[in-house]
A and B are shown apart, each in its own frame.
Chain A
Amino acid sequence: MEKVLITGISGGQGRLLARRLMESYEVCGVDREDWEGHPRGIRVHTVDLRKKKFEDVIRTELPTAIVHMGFIRHFRSDSRTRFDVNVRGTKQLLDHCVNHGTQQFVLVSSSYVYGAFPENPYYIDEDAPLSASRSYPEIRDLVELDSLATAFLWRYPHIRTCVLRPVNLLGYYTHSMIGQYLRQRWVPTVMGFDPMMQFLHEEDLSEAIALALQHGLQGVFNVTGPGEVPLHTAIRETGGTAVPMPEPLMRPLFDRLFKMGLISTPAGAIDYLKFPVTLAGQRFVEATNFRCLFGLEEIFQSLRR
């Protein structure tokens, strides 16, 4: 039985994935936090990705495949830690893959790396440049770790490396930024803008990762969900009330509040409420026959209070 190691196994998505993979793989994982009451048969190591002890885990577990999603996507910790964990942590993890004979590496990146711009085409494919840092410098580490993995893909062709870029992820267990945003009672939006947005259910992402492992995918793939709706429709369907704010007020306000540590969303995120970042998902579908089980209605339902 092949062995899969999941980084960030104690997070909502990590737990879902571990349960999804349990039947067909031997599953172990690492996380900075413990997973209390994890299923028997899954080994959870409480260890920091940046520490020497992490390499010991890989050395003893010797996983055949690693799914990497244990990085920091929120802005509550300081930027130094974020960069350290995300970029240096990923680099070290890639080195461990080479040194300890890992055969397969799956990175769970995101659609945000493409960036939100007025000139974005409808349906961005995988070959588009990753421009997020142009308008949203706070997430340049996410762009960088995505690029690290794609470079790795070409440098070590004998390791089957797969970069998945899923669209806005929603679900009961996942604490995605878009999920927290939509869970608010009053949801700030930019007055006069209502971009189309794509959503994916957390269970479908687990399924997509499982398919990537099963097919031994090599390459970069967008993972799209059942469709797209305007932002305000998503807010209404998840039970919130949109509060449109004039952009000239919103940007300085968010900037100020973020710097004071009162909110955890930098002003750069506002562009994602203005311009569409809609991805073309055919490449992944053609490679794996992926079909999502959850429709938009069910995805929104999973967020309702």
Chain B
Amino acid sequence: MAARGSGFGTALGDLAGALLPLSARSLQRELEERLRKAPARVNEFGFDPYGMSPEWWRRVLLPIVLLYRYYFRVETVGIEHVPQGRALIVANHAGQLPFDGAMLSAALLLEADPPRIARPMGEFWIPNLPWVSIAAARTGALVGTPSNCAHMLENGECVTVFPEGVRGMNKLYSQRYRLQRFGMGFMRLALGTNTPIIPVGIVGSEEQQPGFANLGRLGELLGMPAFPITATFPWLGPLGLLPLPVKYRIHFGEPILFQGDPTDEDAVIEEKVDRVKAAISALLDQGRAARRGVFR
């Protein structure tokens, strides 16, 4: 416990130290340079066909990068595996709020060459939420329907999916690093569009906001996908869902190009999905072995 406590202290120290000498303006310039290099098809009003706006990214990128570099101190390994052109990035999902998705997007924009604007495939209820729907669309997310995803891939976008969905995001602390059941849609799409799959293991999100129980029924009544009970939620209100300053590691695996019939029966598809799952598990093990504690 003492060791963990000191780790937390170091993390806060790192954060404070890093913030002080920070020249926000030069960082902003660097980020804008990367955004400019990221391939995007925007019209004269600055929007791409799905409502993504680099201008919006420009505004939200600084806080995300501060989180990336100084709060979660993300270490990214194997980003060179992200190909140019279409790619389907498949990662684990955890932590009550999708900070893992934001950090994965940040990694693709900050570390990939050329920088990529990730296109996350989101849940069906996102378009129903005021403001969230706008933020999601402007930063490049879309509802994860097969037709949306296929359309994006055919246009050479870099699509990120979390096949565990809510099952992964709201799982309990005792289930950490145990991959939940994967949806199979992503595999059918990869087969149908001949897209390489890049497995990704994200270490850190699984400990950022440990859930001890999930009152699904209550969540349903409130119109939420889940109702987690954590050390701080619901006791501190929505703020209670903010993540602890855990150390993130994002490990990108080698691309896997699957062959086969996208309309095959579930059993055949599942076999291929299991290969992706195994690859992500291996990456997670790699990432956990490489870190020295939850906060360092």
Chain A residues close to B by CB (< 8 Å): 118-119, 121-123, 190-196, 227-230, 233, 237, 247, 274-276, 278, 295-297
Residue-wise, chain B 34-77 has the 8 Å CB interface mask toward A (1 for contact) of 00000000011101011100000000000000000000000000
A196 in complex: contacting residue of B130, B137, B143, CB < 8 Å: B137
Q: Are B128 and A118 in contact, CB atoms less than 8 angstroms apart?
A: yes
Q: Are B130 and A192 in contact, CB atoms less than 8 angstroms apart?
A: yes
In the bound complex, what is the Cα–Cα distance between A121 and B49 (angstroms)? 12
Among B49, B132, B145: residue with most chain A CB under 10 A: B49
A118 in complex: contacting residue of B50, B125, B148, CB < 8 Å: B125
Smallest Cβ-Cβ distance to B133: which chain A residue:
A193
Return chain A residues, CB-CB under 8 Å to B127: 118-119, 274-275
Smallest Cβ-Cβ distance to B142: which chain A residue:
A122
B44 in complex: contacting residue of A118, A123, A190, A297, CB < 8 Å: A297
Distance (whole angstroms) from the CB of B44 to the closest CB of chain A: 7
Given A118-B128, A192-B132, 14 more contacts at CB 8 Å?
Answer: A118-B125, A121-B143, A121-B148, A122-B147, A123-B49, A192-B129, A192-B131, A192-B134, A194-B134, A194-B137, A228-B49, A237-B45, A295-B44, A296-B43
Mostly, the B contact residues are loop
With contacts A233-B45, A296-B45 taken as known, whether A122 is within 8 angstroms of B133 at the C-beta atoms is no
Distance (whole angstroms) from the CB of B145 to the closest CB of chain A: 5
In the bound complex, what is the Cα–Cα distance between A230 and B145 (angstroms)? 21
Q: Does B151 contact A (CB under 8 A)?
A: yes
Distance (whole angstroms) from the CB of A227 to the closest CB of chain B: 5
Q: Are A233 and B151 in contact, CB atoms less than 8 angstroms apart?
A: no
Chain B, interface residues (CB within 8 Å), range: 20 to 34
Distance (whole angstroms) from the CB of A274 to the closest CB of chain B: 8
23 interchain pairs (CB within 8 A)? Answer: A118-B125, A118-B127, A119-B127, A119-B145, A121-B145, A121-B151, A123-B147, A123-B151, A191-B130, A192-B129, A192-B131, A192-B132, A193-B130, A194-B137, A196-B49, A227-B49, A228-B43, A228-B49, A228-B51, A229-B45, A230-B47, A296-B45, A297-B44
In the bound complex, what is the Cα–Cα distance between A193 and B130 (angstroms)? 6
Distance (whole angstroms) from the CB of B138 to the closest CB of chain A: 8
Smallest Cβ-Cβ distance to B150: which chain A residue:
A121
Smallest Cβ-Cβ distance to A275: which chain B residue:
B127
Smallest Cβ-Cβ distance to B127: which chain A residue:
A118
Return chain B residues, CB-CB under 8 Å to A278: 49
Q: Are A193 and B151 in contact, CB atoms less than 8 angstroms apart?
A: no
Residue-wise, chain B 107-128 has the 8 Å CB interface mask toward A (1 for contact) of 0000000000000000011011
Distance (whole angstroms) from the CB of B59 to the closest CB of chain A: 15
In the bound complex, what is the Cα–Cα distance between A283 and B131 (angstroms)? 34
